Amino acid sequence: MDSSGSSARKQRKTVKRPPSEDASAAEQRLKQKKHAALCATLGGEDASVRLLEQLVFGAEEQLSERLEQIPQDSRVFLEDEDGSEDSGSEGPARPIIRSAVWEDEDDQLEEEVDMTHRFRRDFKKSEAESKMSKQRLQQRLKEQFQKAMGGTPSWAEETTDRPRRDAEDEDEDEELLRRTGDFISSSHSLPKGVIKIKKCLNANSECPGADQLSSVQFHPSAQILMTAGLDHSISLFQVDGKNNPKIQTIHLENYPVNKASFSADGEHIVATGLRNKLFYIYDMMEGKVIPVSSVRGLNEQRVSDFQVSPDGKYLLLSGSSGYLHLMTTKTREVVRSMKMNGSVCAAAFTPDSSKIFANSQEGEVFIWDVQSSKCLKKFADDGCVRGTSLALSRDGLYLACGSQSGVVNIYSQKDCLHTLEPRPLKAVMNLVTPATSLSFNSSSEILAIASRADDEANRLVHLPSFTVFSNFPRFQKKTIFRAHCLDFSPQSGFYTVANNKGSALLFRLLHYTDF
């Protein structure tokens, strides 16, 4: 036993490890030491390094724990968009409210804006508002925009409310267009700056003129509009703002119409031509066209322009060489004639039919008494070299005179009658071509001015501020073209323009509730 054990120990001592194994073990120990040193260095870095490691290389266990801690109400935003889990849930999900990353302390300070600046005066509601915060001014601008647009634009409305509001608007329009006759408007005074206006289907869309229109007029009591032009026709349309169906067309053979107008009672239409003194009277009740070839006491070769007195008793015929002839509608004979210096360019009756205002091409305004045919007053239109048009307001407040230069002077009728040299209340200079058409609305809050010498030369003047509405005309392309005649409906609910294209454009004035 002793000999065998000793021999075994001798054999183990004699056996030696290969040198390669010792070297590899030493190399591994060296790598382990370096790795431990590196881990110690990384462990001593800032906490941001460890956070970056988690974000880059992931921390799945911690992410799972955070997902489990999310409230049940917020988990709906983590579901797949295919709606496989909550496809039957009712009601919209509430958005996650996130806090601001950074806040500026200056945002909390309310900066005051000077409202006396000329660009901001129109936004003041009283003189006390000399200063206003930015938030309040922003709200005021928003209200002004919505007011100009006639309410909140359709594209800004919620889809659930839009059909209901559209139906309400249609009901209101239908209710308005059902009522005809003499109306009593409940509108407040018209604000200046921006007018609420809507473009409608052309009044004569069913039968546009083949040539330029020379006249357009609303019926004094019915919901009817008349057009006349150089295509030898007079047409009547029912105005509803949507379809505007044609009622009737009267053709006058070889007779281009220079002017057509309803009688004061609305039962007749008077039309004059360009070539001679022949004129026509159309009886709307009987449907008869009555030609009037001669008028007793009228010594004129041609009669092209005329005016109907508000009381329906007279027609004022404009002759040559400055003559004005007063013809009775009952007997159709001239009872009085008046002579003015120069040529007549325009004339109009006062609302009570007692006086006549006439404008000469030489820039002088004459006032005549209807009963005595005497000239009560004569004065020069301020700054006018050549007169082109004239209009009187229906309430007897204003007189408007147009000139070749495009300037429209607005006077007080009272000053014209009682002042030796009346001065204009305002000279409107928004036209650069001759002001050929003027028209006041029924409430004397709007004066429409236009020139047939240029496209889109049509403006609406607010009274009594004497400022032009900034949003008319404002279209993406030419719409009005050359305006030849203007008119307002009896209660100013509609405004129409007859142009050189044979169209009678129709606009809805949203401020007025009646036709």
CA atoms within 13 A on the CB side of 512: 25
Domain presence at residue 97 = no
Q: pLDDT for 461-503, tens place per residue?
A: 999 999 999 999 988 889 999 999 999 999 999 999 999 999 9
Cis status of the peptide bond prior to 464, with omega within 30 of 0? yes
pLDDT of 304: 87
CA distance 235 to 298: 29
Would you place residue 14 in the very low, low, confident or very high pLDDT band (cuts 50, 70, 90)?
very low
Domain presence at residue 164 = no
One-letter identity of residue 478? K
Domain presence at residue 434 = yes
Tell whether the model's pLDDT for residue 447 goes beyond 70: yes
- CATH number reported for the structural domain that contains residue 279 in this entry: 2.130.10.10
Tell whether the model's pLDDT for residue 436 goes beyond 90: yes
CA torsion, ordered 165, 167, 169, 170, to nearest 10 deg = 170
Residues 6+ apart with CB under 8 A from 184: 514
Token look-up 């009593």 returns 184
Residues 6+ apart with CB under 8 A from 220: 262, 264, 265, 266, 490
Domain presence at residue 278 = yes
Identify whether the C-beta of residue 463 lies closer than 8 Å to the C-beta of residue 473.
no
Q: pLDDT for 45-90, tens place per residue?
A: 555 556 655 655 555 556 556 555 555 554 444 444 444 444 444 4
CA distance 509 to 515: 10
pLDDT of 80: 46
pLDDT of 68: 59
CA distance 389 to 449: 10
Q: pLDDT for 389-420, tens place per residue?
A: 999 999 999 999 999 999 999 999 999 999 99
Residues 6+ apart with CB under 8 A from 289: 250, 252, 280, 281, 282, 283
pLDDT of 126: 74
pLDDT of 255: 94
Domain that holds residue 400: 197-509
Q: Which residues of 131-169 are buried (b: 16+ CB within 10 A; e: fewer)?
A: ebeeeebeebeeeeeeebeeeeeeeeeeeeeeeeeeeee
* Maximum pairwise Cα distance, the chain: 174
- Considering the chain, what is the average pLDDT of its residues? 82
Tell whether the model's pLDDT for residue 39 goes beyond 50: yes
Token duo for residue 187: 């509108």
Side by side, which strands form the sheet with 197-199? 197-199, 504-509, 494-499, 483-488
Write out the E strands in 252-371: 257-262, 268-273, 279-283, 288-292, 305-308, 314-318, 323-328, 334-339, 344-349, 355-360, 364-369
Would you place residue 8 in the very low, low, confident or very high pLDDT band (cuts 50, 70, 90)?
very low
Domain presence at residue 215 = yes
CA distance 210 to 382: 40
CA distance 95 to 166: 30
pLDDT of 476: 81
- Burial-class residue 51 by CB neighbours within 10 Å (0-12, 13-18, 19+): exposed
Identify whether the C-beta of residue 453 lies closer than 8 Å to the C-beta of residue 436.
yes
Identify whether the C-beta of residue 337 lies closer than 8 Å to the C-beta of residue 324.
yes
Domain presence at residue 431 = yes
Q: pLDDT for 351-393, tens place per residue?
A: 999 999 999 999 999 999 999 999 999 999 999 999 999 999 9
Q: pLDDT for 261-285, tens place per residue?
A: 999 999 999 999 988 889 999 999 9
Q: Per the structure, how many domains does the chain have?
A: 1
- Burial-class residue 63 by CB neighbours within 10 Å (0-12, 13-18, 19+): exposed
Q: For a pLDDT cut of 70, what percent of the chain falls above it? A: 73
Identify whether the C-beta of residue 486 lies closer than 8 Å to the C-beta of residue 497.
yes
Domain presence at residue 249 = yes
CA atoms within 13 A on the CB side of 435: 30
